[in-house]
Each structure stands twice: as C-alpha cells, then as structure tokens.
Structure 1
Amino acid sequence: MPFPSVVTFWFVDAAEPGEVLSAEPKADRGFGRKLLAQINPAWPITPIGEFPLNRSSRPGRAEFYIAGYPGVAVVQTFVPDVETVSDTANFLRTALPSADTYIFAEGTDSDFAGFAHFSGDELRRAFASTRDVVAEDVGLPEPFEAPYWAGETAEQLGGISLPFVPKELTRAAQESWIGVEVTPEGPDLNVVGYAVDGRPEPRIAAPAPATKSVAQVASRFAEKDKGYDDYVAPDTEEDGGEFAELADASLAAAKRVGRTLSRRARAFVAGVKERIRHSDRG
C-alpha cells in the first residue's frame, strides 16, 4: 500500500556532515534552481522562500526545499505514493553523485516511516513500516536501532505490532547518520523553497512606516517652538504625516509674522529717536 510522505534526501561527501551543518551555512539560491533544471528542463521553476528546513511547514505537491553546503546537500519534497524508501523518487537519488546518500520518509497522514542508506550506488541498509506492517527490511540493523528493537523507546502494543514507533526510529537514523537533530531545537538548516507547477513568485509587501502618536508629534512641535529659529522644511516621514506638516506650516507662518512685526517695531523706535534728536537741535 502506498503512503503519501515527505521524503528527505541527504547527499554527503563530507567526513563529518554534523560539523558542516552545525555551522548553519547559508543556502545558495542558485544551487536548487540549477539542480531542478537539470532534473527536468521543462519545469517552470519559481522560488517561494528561504527558511530553516527544521522549522518550516512540510513541502506541498510540486514543491522542493533544497540547499547545497560544503560537502553536503539536501532535497526535501512530497511524494504521494511511497511504498519502499530505497526505490522512491529515484530521479532524485541519482541527481547528485555522492559518497553516501541517506533517504528518510515520513507519512503525512499515517504512521508510516522509513529510511535508506546508499554507499555510492550500493544499498547498505533500508527499513520502512507502519507499526503493524513492515514494507522493507534490507541489510543489518545499525547500532542506533538496538534500543528500538528491544522495546525500550515506546509502549508495547503486543500482537504483531513492532516494539517501536517507526517515525521515532527514522528520526534517530537521521540524527545518527547526518550528525545533527533535524528539529526546531537543532541548528538552523537553511534552505530555499521552489515550486515547479508554474505559480508566480510570491510578492512580499514592504512594511508600512510606524505611525507616530499624538504625544510624539506634540513633543516635536514644542521643540521646534524654542528660540524662533529660521524656518526649516518639515520631514514628513519623521513628523507623522499631514498633521505634522500642517503644524509645521502654521509654526512657520507665525515665525514670519513675528519677524515682520519685530522689524516694524525696530523701525518705529528708530524713527522716534531720530525726531527727538532733531527737536533738540531746534
């Protein structure tokens, strides 16, 4: 029975992939586009965002989360019909040559999960199951599997049920082979998301400028009122929009009137003094 699943492919050439990933390297936006174009040149490729793989929502249909780091690459996508992990989406497994390829699958609407390890082109270990049905079991169990098979990690259901939860074993396999926890508590695994179904690239609106409060505008108005400085054109973004423009315009008009009255007063006083001076001579 096929299971809709999120499938993650890790392509590893680095001797210590955990050290590479723990450094939280940035994803190259062009790497994923080139990889998808190589897989299928007919795909219309649309970037849909950049985010940490370990703290993102699951990819949907026709979506790929991709990153290339030094010696490590990752591709995550949705596969609607996984039965055995070792032969799912082979077009992806063979897309990048690597010393080791690790594949992890988790059902989106079931308890199905599994994993596979290829050394070059050789399948070394693969396991996939639900709690009640084993779909694939190839190679010898790895050391990290021991406590799961021993029933030390989950409540025992009895009967034909496996002594562990398949998704928990799959996550343990990923942590053991990749060297980091692929969880929100682990290092950020920065990836770029792409869609290949022809959708337009999402537009991200610029944030609106913060609105000034009345108190903030009033305080700036009061500061401008000190000392009758020469008029300076208002900065509309800093002064809170139309209200601040009107306030500054009114203040400027008042200053101009004040300066005019001051000049007239000085001229009047000077005229009076001049008349008094001439009257003394007479």
Structure 2
Amino acid sequence: MGARTGLLVYSDGAAPDLLKRVGAPDLERTTAMMRCLYPGWGIEATSGSTLADGAHPPDGRVYAGSWPGVDLVCDGRVMVDLPSRLPDELVAASAGRRMVLHAMHSVVDWLAFGVWEDGRLIRSLSLSPDSGIAEDIGDPLAFEQPYWAGDRAAGAIAWPGEDERPYPLPFHPLDMGEDALRALCGFVLEGRPEPRDVEADAVDLHGFLVRDPNAPDPAEKEAALRAAVAAMGPPRAYLLGADGTLVEREAPGGGFSAA
C-alpha cells in the first residue's frame, strides 16, 4: 500500500455526508479559513489539487477547501505522532464543531487519527509496528471493533532464509487506516470504493504555499543544504575484493585505492 494522508476536517455534523454535497470551493472563503488556521504565517495561493491526489502535500504546501458546514485542510504538519498534541490553534478552531484528524504513512505502516467534539478530544489512536501503540485515548469507535476483536489480524512476515515471525501489532495499521478514512471522512485512497463513498477525485482543493514565521528562511535552508552537499565531495563507491577488503571503484581519471 502506498497511501499517505495528513488531513483535518472541521464539520457541522457528519463529514462524509457533507463532503458528498460539496462543489468547487470558494477561493476567498478558503483563504479566510487559511488565515484563521495559520495566524501570522505567509500564505500565497498556488496551483490546487483534488482530495484524492492532495491528501499528503509536500512540505510548505497546503491543499484546502471551505464550504458551508465543512472545511478541509491537507497539510503534512498535522502528521503528529500523538494526536493529543496537535497545535492549539488547530484544535481551537473546532469549537462548536466536530474535527477529525487522519494521518497515515505507508512506508512505516503508521496510522494516527483523532476525533474532537467542540474542542474536546474524545478518541485518538496512534500506532506503528516499530513504536507499538503510542497513544490510545477514549473508547474505540465502531469501525475499530473488528480489529480489536481479532477479526482483522495481520499475517505473519516471511523473510528470505528466516522463519515466519508474527506482525508486531494485532492488525495492520494501514488496513484500519482505510476504514478510519471511510468512517470519519467518507472516502478511501486504496481500498475498494463503495457506491456510498465520497468521490475524492471529484473534490477540488485550492493550493497554498505556507511559511512559518518562526522557521528558518527557505533561502538560508537551501544555502545550508548546498554547502553541506559541497563539503561531502564526490560520491565514492567500493567493491569487495577477493581478499575481503573494500576496494574503491575506479573513478573518472583512473586509479583504485584500498580501504
């Protein structure tokens, strides 16, 4: 599975029902929402995306949409290990509303989600095979029940030349992640779509470049990166010699050296 998400949904009711009815988001309304959620940040409009393609934007970019009754923000900075530590300004914006956080990263089999009602956290879960269950607050939601009951157990892992070993968690986080996405937000990224699902590729989002005023200047970061790369010198490759020593592969201009 290759799904990644970092999104927040604020809604006046069930988000799946509301997202099914949205049209093109108004840019002025969405920009006003962005300035509320990112006070003091630099915000610049840029090309947009869809909910299907923009659920995990690159650093410094946000995809968002605001409609009557529901607001949606896709931003990598909400991919926090502990949902209970989501930035205060993002939680404060959920006063009088429901807020859903969904964050998932397929490379490390990590899932985190949270649900707030009127600014109060009522359920959060964060887990991965490497870290185990990092956070588990509140009562499990209905879509979680089959996983905790053992009905969705993960299979054993078989590595070449090794015996099978059990998966470190009672279920696969990405499997639950897709069910959480459907139950809380109304759509899936890699699971089999159902007729009742939100068509994520039909939900358009505006794009924004965002800059934290307390973060290093992008030009300074780029200069520091270039300096670090320059200091590394050219890449070096080695081969294992017949006597077991590492021998540097011939570089342009000729010559070998033994390590």
Same fold (TM over 0.5): yes
The residue type paired with residue 147 of structure 2 is Y
Structure 1 residue 162 displacement after superposition: 1.5
- Residues paired across the two proteins, number: 193
Q: Given the alignment, which residue of 209, 218, 238 partners 1:195?
A: 209
Structure 1 residue 24 displacement after superposition: 4.0
Instruction: State the partner residue of 2:105.
Output: 107
Segments of structure 2 that go 5 or more residues without pairing to the other structure are 157-164, 212-216, 219-259
Coordinate RMSD, CA, aligned: 2.7
Structure 1 residue 82 displacement after superposition: 2.1
Give the distance between the partners of 1:124 and 1:80, measured in 2 at CA: 18
Superposition map of 1:106-255 within 5 A: 106-107=104-105, 109-132=107-130, 133-157=132-156, 161-178=168-185, 180-183=186-189, 185=193, 186-187=198-199, 188-197=202-211
Give the distance between the partners of 1:166 and 1:153, measured in 2 at CA: 10
Give the distance between the partners of 1:117 and 1:57, measured in 2 at CA: 18
The answer to whether the 8 A contact 1:128-1:136 is kept is yes
Q: Deviation string for 1:220-265 (max 9, x for gaps)?
A: xxxxxxxxxxxxxxxxxxxxxxxxxxxxxxxxxxxxxxxxxxxxxx
Q: Percent identity?
A: 23
Superposition map of 1:7-18 within 5 A: 7-14=6-13, 16-18=14-16
Q: Given the alignment, which residue of 30, 33, 38 partners 2:31?
A: 33
Q: 1:97 to 1:193 in 2, by over 3 A?
A: farther
For the residue of structure 2 that corresponds to 1:45, the secondary structure is strand
The answer to whether the 8 A contact 2:155-2:166 is kept is no
The answer to whether the 8 A contact 2:79-2:104 is kept is no
Pick the structure with more strand per residue: 2
Q: Deviation string for 1:146-180 (max 9, x for gaps)?
A: 112233334334657212111221331231123x2
The answer to whether the 8 A contact 1:20-1:69 is kept is no
Instruction: State the partner residue of 2:87.
Output: 89
Segments of structure 1 that go 5 or more residues without pairing to the other structure are 200-282
The answer to whether the 8 A contact 2:16-2:187 is kept is no
Structure 1 residue 92 displacement after superposition: 2.0
Give the distance between the partners of 1:144 and 1:80, measured in 2 at CA: 22
Query: Of the two, which has the highest radius of gyration?
Result: 1
Q: TM-score, normalised by structure 2?
A: 0.65
Instruction: State the partner residue of 2:61.
Output: 63
For the residue of structure 2 that corresponds to 1:144, the secondary structure is helix
Instruction: State the partner residue of 1:276.
Output: none
The answer to whether the 8 A contact 2:111-2:127 is kept is yes
Give the distance between the partners of 2:78 and 2:140, measured in 1 at CA: 27
Give the distance between the partners of 1:41 and 1:84, measured in 2 at CA: 23
Pick the structure with more helix per residue: 1
Structure 1 residue 109 displacement after superposition: 4.2
